[in-house]
Amino acid sequence: MRVCVVGSGGREHALADVLGRHHEVVVTPGNVGIPGSTPADPETVEADLYVIGPEAPLVDGLADRLRAAGRLVFGPGADGARLEGSKAWMKEVVSAAGVPTAAYESFTDLEPALGFLESLQPPYVVKTDGLAAGKGVLVTDSLDEARRGVADYLSGSAFGDAGRTVVIEEGLVGPELSVLAVCDGTRAVALAPAQDFKRIGEGDAGPNTGGMGAYSPVTIADDDVVADVIDRFVQPTLDELRRRGIDYRGVLYAGLMFTETGPRLIEFNVRFGDPETQVVLPRLRSDLGDLLARAAAGRLGGAPEFADDAVVTVVLAAEGYPVAPRTGDVIRGVDDARALEDVSVYCAGVAAGDDGVLVTAGGRVLNVCGRGVDVAAARAAAYRGVAAISWPGLVVRRDIAASA
Ligand code: AMP
Ligand code: GLY
């Protein structure tokens, strides 16, 4: 098959890499570090299967346009992508589906929002209704900070229109888990579970980011836990979408928190996680293209098989991320890292500088992946790779997967 991957980050590099084991792959627009990248508009690229990485084009209806042109597409239409495009709608759908999730209300006006906030216990959780690149979630023990957040979101000063509706939630506490399910409109199969590290700082300090690292497998998530996530979270949501006339073919990514009273849904994403994809897909034993093509055609087969080993990825970010990343710094050592045993490097925010050197061009720049017999070995490999790479102002968390 010829597969067209849409997107330009580390997730798309991993998708292209793993699809490339069995298929010809073109990535649009990709980036200078991803083989097979082309600036062409995906709607002009000929392929047997289209795999859409990021949420924005999904919310914007790219899958619908490709399907209308008779293409085979892995990724939900704009109707299903609203699960991620509007947190208030997502909450309404999962409540109707009976999925266990944090209590919430959504608001467009300041006074009632502050009134609800003050009725809650810390941690206070304030979210933009719309897309904010993983950064629109404020979790804080300070009522004052939460109040300011609500005011900044609603006024549009923090996240523009994405924040003019806010969702205020009950604050949950516990370990988190990402389960990515591949859906064919009716049925879902789980990929290997992963855990990601959302905060910029070590010890989970500082603001939320798109994700600073991840690992797979996850000890708290044995096969029974994953089966339970499909049965009580993913399948009821897929059924509820169907009742509403939505034929959901793509990844349904359940972000869960394991509280003292059981697992709760924190969010649904409508795409592969970034950087979870970078640790989950390399462990896949079977043909990824076949799996995604079957889902896209509404004909999923059995559950995919994963290797018994582990992968850890560490995100290398630019100074200033997640607020205002500095760009244009020369990146050194990528080839040295790749030459190390059990180390691979996926490219995210990179561009070509003078003489073809790689320079930083985004917040999250590289994903350094280590593979090993267990998480500790994979982690050691990943950090060996990290040590080989440098640029001025490089930001890295040293504690990715340390507690695993
Ligand atoms: P989201 O983008 O909705 O996944 O939120 C980003 C991060 O904020 C999550 O991974 C959690 O760490 C945290 N978070 C989101 N919702 C809650 C909640 N209701 N209670 C506690 N933490 C939350
Ligand atoms: N790693 C979190 C996300 O992809 O949203």
What number does the ligand 1 atom closest to the CA of 198 have? 10
- Per-residue confidence (pLDDT) for residue 125, from 0 to 100: 94
Instruction: Find out whether the beta carbon of 269 lies less than 6 Å from any atom of ligand 2.
Output: yes
Burial of 178 (0-12, 13-18, 19+ CB in 10 A): buried
Instruction: Find out whether the beta carbon of 137 lies less than 6 Å from any atom of ligand 1.
Output: yes
- What is the mean predicted confidence (pLDDT) over 26-52? 97
> What's the rounded Cα separation, in Å, for the pair 223 and 226?
5
- Per-residue confidence (pLDDT) for residue 244, from 0 to 100: 98
Place 231 in a pLDDT band, splitting at 50, 70 and 90. Answer: very high
- Per-residue confidence (pLDDT) for residue 208, from 0 to 100: 85
Give the Å distance between the CA of 67 and the centre of ligand 1: 33
- Per-residue confidence (pLDDT) for residue 159, from 0 to 100: 84
* Residue 6 Cα to chain centre, angstroms: 15
> What's the rounded Cα separation, in Å, for the pair 175 and 153?
27
pLDDT in tens, 261-292: 999 999 999 999 999 999 999 999 999 999 99
Instruction: Find out whether the beta carbon of 313 lies less than 6 Å from any atom of ligand 2.
Output: no
Instruction: Find out whether the beta carbon of 169 lies less than 6 Å from any atom of ligand 2.
Output: no
The C-alpha torsion from 114 through 118 and 123 to 124, rounded to 10°, is: -10
* Residue 203 Cα to chain centre, angstroms: 21
Instruction: Find out whether the beta carbon of 84 lies less than 6 Å from any atom of ligand 2.
Output: no
Give me the amino acid identity at 372: G
Phi then psi for 250, rounded to 5 degrees?
165, -165
pLDDT above 90 covers what percent of the chain?
84
Let me know the angle formed at the C-alpha of 228 by 94 and 92, rounded to the nearest 5 degrees.
5
Please say whether the beta carbons of 3 and 19 come within 8 A: yes
- What is the mean predicted confidence (pLDDT) over 167-194? 95
Give the Å distance between the CA of 68 and the centre of ligand 1: 35
Instruction: Find out whether the beta carbon of 211 lies less than 6 Å from any atom of ligand 2.
Output: yes
Q: CA distances (Å), 269 to each of 181, 252, 382, 387, in order?
A: 10, 6, 26, 32
Looking at all shown ligands, the one closest to residue 196's CA atom is: 2
What structural domains does the chain harbor? Answer: 2-78 (3.40.50.20), 103-170 (3.30.1490.20), 174-296 (3.30.470.20), 310-387 (3.90.600.10)
The model carries a pTM of 0.94
> What's the rounded Cα separation, in Å, for the pair 334 and 329?
14
